[in-house]
C-alpha cells in the first residue's frame, strides 16, 4: 500500500498493511533543510524544499503542508510576533474592544495564504500520488479567540448570542479555507482547534457542536476527508467531538489514547496521536521514542489508528528521534525486539573494536536502525557506498544494523547515541543529517591528515 | 443574617452582582472582613480550584468566578487594609520572554489571589531581569514563571540564573508551569516547584509562604 492508500483505508475503517504515520513537521521541517522557522513560514522555495526533505527522510503516510494557525488571523487583522524557532504568535486581537461581527472572508492571494496554497499544489504534484496531504486550517473557536482575545471565554457566559454569531462567522472562514485546500489537492482537511480542551462538554454542546458538524459535513461533501485536531486535556470533550462526525480525531499526550479510542471506536472514527512532544520527542533519546511508540501501539485496540506526534513538533526535535518513531510505526515487531535487546543488561560486547589509531586505510562505519527500511539510514549508507566507489575502493565501509543484538552492544561500547550516524576512523562525523559526497570526501581526507 | 455559604455558592456560579451585594450585606451586619473573605469568597474559589483540577469546570467558569471574587473584593479591600490584615505572601508572576500566552498565567494569578496571596502580574514576554526587579521591589517570596511553548520554556532557566547572578536566589522560590513543562524539567533548570495546574500552583504557593 502507498501511504495515501493507508491513510484513506484507515479513515474508512478498512485494514491496512502497516499502521499509518503522520509526522506533524510544521516549522520543524525547516530543521531538515537548514532553514529557521520564520524562513519556512514566509519563503515559498524554502518551505517546499523543507517539505520535500520531510517526505524523503521521515517517510510519512500523511503529511501536513503547514502547521500554522495564525495564517487566517493575520489576514483578518491580528498582529503577529515572529520567532526563528517556532511558528508566529498572535499579539493583538482586533475584536478585543468591539462586539461587531466581521464579514470579511480571506481571499486566496491574501497574507501568507498564497504561499500555503502554492506549496500545497507543488507537494500534490511531486508527492501527492503516494502520500496523503493534509491541509490544516485554524479551527473556528481558536480563530474566534485570536480575533476576540480571552474575552471570548467570558462572553460564553455573559453574552452567548454574540459567541454564536462570532463562531458562525469563523466557521464560514474555515469552510472557505477548506475549499481552497481541497482545490489545491489536499486529501484531508484538518481543523485544528487547541482551545476546545479549555471548555466544558456543556459549552461544547451549546456553542461548538453545530458549527463543527456543519464544517465536517461541508468537507465531506467536497469529497475530502476531515480531521479534528485538539491539544491539551480534551478528555471530557472526546465524545462531544465525535458527535460532530469528523473522519478522524487527533489528540496530544494529555489525553489517554487508549481510553479515548474506546470512545472513537464506538463512533467509527479514526484516532490519531499522541507521542509526547517534550518529554519523549524533544528531550528523549532514540530508544525512548521507539519504546514510547511501541507501548502506545500496544495500549490501544487494533485498527482505526494513526500514529502521530501529540501536536506540532518543536523545531528542535532531534531528527533521529523522529526516525525512531517512523521505524517503530512501520516496523513495529523489529523495533519491539530492538527495544527489548536494548533494555536487556545481558547483552555484552564480546568482539573487539578496530584499532582506530593504526588503520591501514580509512574506515567508514555506518550505524543504522536498518538501511533496508529506514529512509535516512538508506541514504546514509548509500552516501558511504557512493564515496567508496568515488574513491575507487580505497576506503573500507561497514554497516552495523541496530536490529542485531551484537550491534546494539557495539553501539553501547562506542557510546553511540544517534542512528543513523557515520563514524570515520572511530570518530563521529555525521548523525541524522546525510552528507553530500563532497562533504564526506573532505571529512575523510581531514581524518587521514 | 448574611449567609457565607450562599456567598460562596454565588461566587462559584460567577454571579458578580449577587456576590457584591451579599458581601456588602455581611459587612453591614458586622461580620469582620477577614471572616467574609475566608468563609465566603476564598471558600468559593477553593471549590472552583478543586473542580478545575478535577476537570469538572473549565476556563470560562474559572474566569467568571474570579470576576465575581473581584466584585466582592472591591467591598472588602479597603476594610482589610483598615483592619491591618496582611496577605499570606507575595508572588511575582509572568509569562517568560518571547512568549505571549497569558490564559494559563492569568488562571494561576486568579487562583493565588483566591488563596489570599498578593499577586504582582508582570504580564507576558517578561525578560528575566524584570522578574528580579519586581521581586526586590515587592519583597516577594515567590516568582512564578509561565511558558506555553517548547521554545520559550528554556527561558525559565534564565530566570533562575538571573536570581543567582543577583545573589538573591536563596531568598526566593521559583515556581514554573505551562503545557510543555514537567517536573523533571523543573529540576533540570534548578527551579523549586513545578505545578501541573492553576489550583495546584496556588496551593503550592501558600505552602511555600507558610513554611
Q: Using CB atoms, which residue from A85, A231, A235 is nearest to B151?
A: A85
Q: CB distance A198–B61 less than 8 Å?
A: no
Are A305 and A418 contained in the same domain?
no
| Domain assignment present for A54 | yes
For residue A62, give the CATH number of its domain: 3.20.20.210
Are A252 and A363 contained in the same domain?
no
* Contact list, A316 vs chain B (CB under 8 Å): 150-151
- How would CATH label the architecture of B4-82? Orthogonal Bundle (1.10)
Are A364 and A228 contained in the same domain?
no
Interfacial A residues in 79-108 facing B (CB < 8 Å): 81, 83, 85-86, 89-91
Q: CB distance A200–B180 less than 8 Å?
A: no
| Domain assignment present for A247 | yes
Q: CB distance A150–B103 less than 8 Å?
A: yes
| Domain assignment present for A346 | no
Residue B67 has pLDDT above 80, yes or no: yes
Q: Which has the minimum average pLDDT: A256-265, A369-378, B35-44, B60-69? A: A369-378
pLDDT of A78: 97
Q: Using CB atoms, which residue from B14, B125, B150 is nearest to A314?
A: B150
Q: CB distance A277–B150 less than 8 Å?
A: yes
Annotated domain spans of chain B: 4-82, 90-210
A36 CB within 8 Å of a chain B CB: no
Are A167 and A304 contained in the same domain?
yes
Are A219 and A305 contained in the same domain?
yes
pLDDT of A307: 98
Taking residues B146-159, report their average pLDDT: 92
Q: CB distance A199–B60 less than 8 Å?
A: yes
CATH 3.40.50.280 corresponds to the domain B90-210: yes
Q: How does pLDDT run across A17-58, given as a tens digit for each residue? A: 999 999 999 999 999 999 999 999 999 999 999 999 999 999
pLDDT of A442: 94
Q: Using CB atoms, which residue from A91, A199, A283 is nearest to B59?
A: A199
Contacts of A128 (CB under 8 A, 6+ apart): A4, A185, A187
pLDDT of A162: 98
Are A312 and A369 contained in the same domain?
no
pLDDT of A345: 72
Are A324 and A437 contained in the same domain?
no
A151 CB within 8 Å of a chain B CB: no
Q: How does pLDDT run across A396-422, given as a tens digit for each residue? A: 999 999 988 889 899 989 989 889 999
Distance of residue B198 Cα from the nearest chain A Cα, in angstroms: 13
Distance of residue B64 Cα from the nearest chain A Cα, in angstroms: 6
Minimal-distance CA residue of chain A relative to B58:
A199
B102 CB within 8 Å of a chain A CB: yes
Look up the domain containing A270 and give its range.
Answer: 3-339
| Domain assignment present for A404 | yes
Are A169 and A71 contained in the same domain?
yes
pLDDT < 70 stretches in chain A: none
Q: CB distance A86–B185 less than 8 Å?
A: no
**Residues for chain B: how many in total?**
211
For residue A384, give the CATH number of its domain: 3.40.30.10
Q: CB distance A89–B100 less than 8 Å?
A: yes
Are A128 and A70 contained in the same domain?
yes
Mutate to test the interface with A, among B58, B102, B157, B177 (most CBs of A within 10 A): B58
| Domain assignment present for A243 | yes
Domain count, chain A: 2
Q: Is the ipTM of this complex over 0.90?
A: no
| Domain assignment present for A167 | yes
* Contact list, B179 vs chain A (CB under 8 Å): 231-232
Amino acid at each position: 500500500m502507498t501511504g495515501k492508500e493507508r491513510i484513506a483505508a484507515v479513515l474508512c475503517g478498512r485494514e491496512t498493511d502497516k499502521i499509518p504515520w503522520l509526522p506533524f513537521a510544521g516549522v520543524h521541517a525547516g530543521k531538515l533543510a537548514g532553514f529557521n522557522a520564520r524562513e519556512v513560514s514566509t519563503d515559498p522555495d524554502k518551505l517546499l524544499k523543507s517539505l520535500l526533505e520531510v517526505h524523503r527522510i521521515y517517510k510519512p503516510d500523511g503529511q501536513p503542508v503547514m502547521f500554522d494557525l495564525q495564517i487566517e488571523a493575520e489576514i483578518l487583522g491580528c498582529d503577529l510576533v515572529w520567532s526563528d524557532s517556532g511558528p508566529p504568535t498572535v499579539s493583538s486581537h482586533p475584536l478585543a474592544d468591539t462586539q461587531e461581527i466581521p464579514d470579511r472572508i480571506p481571499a486566496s492571494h491574501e497574507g501568507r495564504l498564497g504561499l500555503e496554497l502554492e506549496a500545497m499544489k507543488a507537494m500534490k504534484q511531486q508527492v501527492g500520488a503516494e502520500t496523503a496531504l493534509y491541509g490544516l486550517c485554524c479551527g473556528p473557536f481558536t480563530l474566534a479567540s485570536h480575533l476576540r482575545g480571552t474575552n471570548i471565554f467570558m462572553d460564553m457566559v455573559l453574552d452567548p448570542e454574540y459567541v454564536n454569531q462570532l463562531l458562525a462567522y469563523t466557521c464560514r472562514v474555515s469552510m472557505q479555507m477548506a475549499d481552497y485546500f481541497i482545490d489545491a489537492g489536499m486529501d484531508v482537511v484538518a481543523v485544528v482547534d487547541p482551545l476546545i480542551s479549555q471548555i466544558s462538554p456543556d459549552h461544547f454542546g451549546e456553542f461548538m457542536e453545530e458549527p463543527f458538524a456543519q464544517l465536517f459535513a461541508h468537507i465531506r461533501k467536497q469529497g475530502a476527508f476531515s480531521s479534528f485536531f485538539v491539544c491539551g486535556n480534551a478528555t471530557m470533550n472526546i465524545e462531544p467531538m465525535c458527535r460532530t462526525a469528523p473522519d478522524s480525531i487527533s489528540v496530544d499526550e494529555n489525553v489517554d489514547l487508549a481510553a479515548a479510542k474506546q470512545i472513537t471506536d464506538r463512533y467509527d472514527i479514526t484516532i490519531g496521536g499522541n507521542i509526547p512532544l517534550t518529554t519523549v520527542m524533544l528531550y528523549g533519546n532514540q530508544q525512548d521514542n521507539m519504546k514510547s511508540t511501541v507501548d502506545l501501539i500496544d495500549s490501544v485496540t487494533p485498527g482505526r489508528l494513526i500514529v502521530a506526534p501529540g501536536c506540532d513538533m518543536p523545531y528542535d526535535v532531534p531528527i533521529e528521534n523522529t526516525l525512531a518513531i517512523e521505524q517503530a510505526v512501520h516496523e513495529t515487531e523489529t523495533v519491539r525486539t530492538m527495544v527489548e535487546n536494548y533494555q536487556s543488561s545481558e547483552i555484552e560486547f564480546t568482539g573487539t573494536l578496530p584499532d582506530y589509531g593504526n588503520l591501514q586505510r580509512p574506515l567508514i562505519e555506518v550505524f543504522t536502525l536498518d538501511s533496508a527500511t529506514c529512509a535516512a539510514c538508506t541514504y546514509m549508507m548509500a552516501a558511504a557506498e557512493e564515496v567508496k566507489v568515488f574513491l575507487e575502493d580505497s576506503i573500507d565501509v561497514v554497516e552495523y544494523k541496530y536490529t542485531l543484538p551484537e550491534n546494539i552492544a557495539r553501539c553501547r561500547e562506542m557510546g553511540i547515541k544517534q542512528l543513523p550516524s557515520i563514524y570515520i576512523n572511530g570518530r563521529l562525523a555525521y548523525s541524522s543529517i546525510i552528507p553530500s559526497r563532497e562533504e564526506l570526501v573532505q571529512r575523510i581526507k581531514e581524518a587521514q591528515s | 443574617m448574611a449567609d457565607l455559604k450562599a456567598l460562596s455558592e454565588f461566587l462559584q456560579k460567577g454571579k458578580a452582582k449577587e456576590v457584591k451585594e451579599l458581601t456588602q450585606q455581611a459587612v453591614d451586619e458586622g461580620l469582620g472582613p477577614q471572616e467574609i473573605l475566608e468563609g465566603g469568597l476564598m471558600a468559593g474559589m477553593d471549590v472552583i480550584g478543586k473542580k478545575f483540577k478535577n476537570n469538572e469546570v473549565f476556563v470560562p467558569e474559572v474566569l467568571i468566578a474570579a470576576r465575581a471574587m473581584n466584585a466582592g473584593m472591591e467591598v472588602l479591600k479597603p476594610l482589610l487594609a483598615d483592619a491591618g490584615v496582611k496577605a499570606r505572601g507575595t508572588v511575582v508572576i509572568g509569562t517568560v520572554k518571547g512568549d505571549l500566552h497569558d490564559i494559563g498565567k492569568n488562571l494561576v494569578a486568579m487562583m493565588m489571589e483566591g488563596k489570599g496571596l498578593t499577586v504582582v502580574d508582570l504580564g507576558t514576554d517578561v525578560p528575566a531581569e524584570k522578574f528580579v526587579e519586581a521581586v526586590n521591589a515587592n519583597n516577594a517570596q515567590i516568582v512564578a514563571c509561565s511558558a506555553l511553548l517548547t521554545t520559550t520554556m528554556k527561558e525559565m532557566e534564565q530566570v533562575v540564573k538571573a536570581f543567582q547572578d543577583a545573589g538573591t536566589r536563596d531568598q526566593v522560590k521559583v515556581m514554573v508551569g505551562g503545557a510543555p513543562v514537567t517536573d523533571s524539567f523543573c529540576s533540570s533548570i534548578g527551579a523549586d516547584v513545578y505545578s501541573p495546574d492553576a489550583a495546584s500552583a496556588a496551593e503550592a504557593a501558600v505552602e511555600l509562604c507558610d513554611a
